[in-house]
Amino acid sequence: MQVKYLNDLATLVSLCKRRGFVFQSSEIYGGLNSCWDYGPLGANLKLNVKLAWYQAMTRRDDIVGLDAAILMHPTVWKASGHVDGFSDPLVDCKKCKNRFREDTAKVNGVVTCPRCGATEVTESRQFNLMFKTHMGPVEEDSNVVYLRPETAQGIFVNFENVATSMRRKIPFGIAQIGKSFRNEITPGNFTFRTREFEQMEMQFFVKPGTDEEWFETWKKVRWNFYLDMGLRENKLRFSAHGPKELAHYAKAAFDVQYEFPFGWQELEGIHNRSDFDLSQHQKFSGKKLEYFDEAAKEKYLPFVIETAVGCDRLCLAVLCDAYREEVTKDESGSEDVRVVMGFKPRFAPIKVAVLPLSKKEPLTNIGRELRDKLALDWEVDYDETASIGKRYRRQDEIGTPLCVTVDFDTVNDEAVTVRHRDKMTQDRVKISNLKAYIAEKLINF
């Protein structure tokens, strides 16, 4: 058997639409550029990914959760540097009028239009990536608020609230999942870069002087998280930011990159943000944000080690990583291709499919009853249409680890056949023992 992994994004985009993972936003109106909706299976997958991240963070006894508002006081974005500095240089091609980022189109100092190849472009202008809106019924400058471009600031401005209410001692972290918005000039590659996306960020507050050690610790922790998720190790790597790439707040930064079908790209950023954010918020709000270290009897502004990953980007990596085609040849030499989404069971949108062999009672009754029982513990699909072979293939294509078949013998032996997605082996299991069997198989898949 030959196994082929994903090497073009179009194949995945098509599967995602066909099987209910991801749809183009507002599709019946012609779509909205770079916005995507998660279908029923995509929504499950995303929830599973978020849960894995949130649990990995908050099961530690030195991290707590937060859910801050998207809209924040406009001065937050002055303090954070986003009003003045969160912009990209834009140029227009004089030949085809294409508008694009100057920095990404510059090779050996020459800017080349990515659409037509011309090198004559306008002077560059700074374009701020924050979405603006107005609060209240009057549209005037004084009512301007921004859709947050990162979730991190919600954590910084709540540092004092969390530390006090939760009686936290440094070092400790705050973890948050939420939507962010950036008016990206060149969104693309499906859900990789979009204008509305979800971030999973954790800010870890440490004593100055211990920051470099914590930075190394977090690099290891995050690397192991991805391995634990089941991403292939040869598809992951670290990439250090050089001095020119460092964000305005960062003392040091590493990206965790994943090899997508369109190349190695950033999945997560790990930053040493020093005390930049807390000192800026202290300055702009006039409120003291220093931490009093009782043991050392000293006051200081904590440094921050940040780990920040896009949830949509991680879901895309999980989808790319899971896709495989198993090609076999029959005696006549003709090829048979089995498409499998090889998710780790915890990420699979559907854990178990219940498939009665016939559309007739009593098999359907037994099947529906089983579906309802199993659905108390897992996401379950029930399917009685098409041949059993076709139904197995459908479940393989959405990554369902186990299929439970109710057949004509079930009526007499009160047992069902359970088929394993990867090995395609089948076990006969008593219905009375089915839950325990499934629970064990999903853990030791």
Shorter beta-carbon distance to ligand GAP: residue 210 or 239: 239
Among 92, 160, 216, 266, binds ligand GAP (CB under 6 A): 266
Q: Of 144-183, which residues contact ligand GAP (CB under 6 A)? A: 150, 152, 182
Pairing type for strands 303-310 and 263-272 reads: antiparallel
Smallest distance, ligand GAP to C-beta of residue 249, A: 8
Shorter beta-carbon distance to ligand GAP: residue 63 or 352: 63
Rounded Cα distance, 328 and 257, in Å = 33
Using rule CB under 6 A, residue 308 touches ligand GAP: yes
Using rule CB under 6 A, residue 302 touches ligand GAP: no
Smallest distance, ligand GAP to C-beta of residue 220, A: 18
Rounded Cα distance, 296 and 266, in Å = 39
φ, ψ of residue 414 to 5 degrees: the values are 50, 45
Q: Find the part of the chain contacting ligand GAP (CB under 6 A) among 77-85, 208-216, 264-272, 329-337.
A: 264-272
Shorter beta-carbon distance to ligand GAP: residue 269 or 356: 269
The amino acid occupying position 160 is E
Among 88, 201, 381, 383, binds ligand GAP (CB under 6 A): 201
Pairing type for strands 22-24 and 2-5 reads: unpaired
**Residue 122's closest CA among 146, 95, 140?**
95
Whole-number Cα distances in Å, 319 to 94, 240, 341: 39, 26, 8
Using rule CB under 6 A, residue 309 touches ligand GAP: yes
Shorter beta-carbon distance to ligand GAP: residue 222 or 351: 222
Report which residue's Cβ sits closest to ligand GAP: 310
Neighbours of 330 (CB within 10 A): 8
Rounded Cα distance, 200 and 152, in Å = 9
Among 19, 193, 394, 441, binds ligand GAP (CB under 6 A): 193
Exposure letters 124-154 (e unless 16+ CB within 10 A, then b): beeebebbeeeeeeeeeeeeebbbbbbbbbb
Using rule CB under 6 A, residue 383 touches ligand GAP: no
Using rule CB under 6 A, residue 197 touches ligand GAP: yes
Q: Of 406-445, which residues contact ligand GAP (CB under 6 A)? A: none
Cβ(299)–Cβ(293) under 8 Å?
yes
The dihedral through the CA atoms of 119, 125, 127, 133 has a sign that is: negative
Using rule CB under 6 A, residue 345 touches ligand GAP: no
Shorter beta-carbon distance to ligand GAP: residue 84 or 427: 84
Q: Find the part of the chain contacting ligand GAP (CB under 6 A) among 8-16, 155-163, 280-288, 308-316.
A: 308-316
The dihedral through the CA atoms of 391, 327, 314, 442 has a sign that is: positive
Rounded Cα distance, 425 and 329, in Å = 19
Among 211, 275, 312, 383, binds ligand GAP (CB under 6 A): 312
Rounded Cα distance, 52 and 58, in Å = 10
Among 22, 52, 225, 268, binds ligand GAP (CB under 6 A): 268
Pairing type for strands 426-430 and 415-420 reads: antiparallel
All residues at 6 or more sequence positions from 210 whose CB lies less than 8 Å from its CB, including other chains:
171, 303
Using rule CB under 6 A, residue 211 touches ligand GAP: no
Cβ(215)–Cβ(241) under 8 Å?
no
Q: Find the part of the chain contacting ligand GAP (CB under 6 A) among 16-24, 115-123, 303-311, 349-357.
A: 303-311
Q: Of 313-342, which residues contact ligand GAP (CB under 6 A)? A: 313
Q: Find the part of the chain contacting ligand GAP (CB under 6 A) among 55-63, 304-312, 354-362, 389-397.
A: 304-312
Q: Find the part of the chain contacting ligand GAP (CB under 6 A) among 136-144, 266-274, 318-326, 429-437.
A: 266-274
Smallest distance, ligand GAP to C-beta of residue 56, A: 16
Using rule CB under 6 A, residue 225 touches ligand GAP: no
Which residues of the shown chain bind ligand GAP in the complex (CB under 6 A)?
A: 150, 152, 182, 184, 193-194, 197, 199, 201, 266-269, 306, 308-310, 312-313
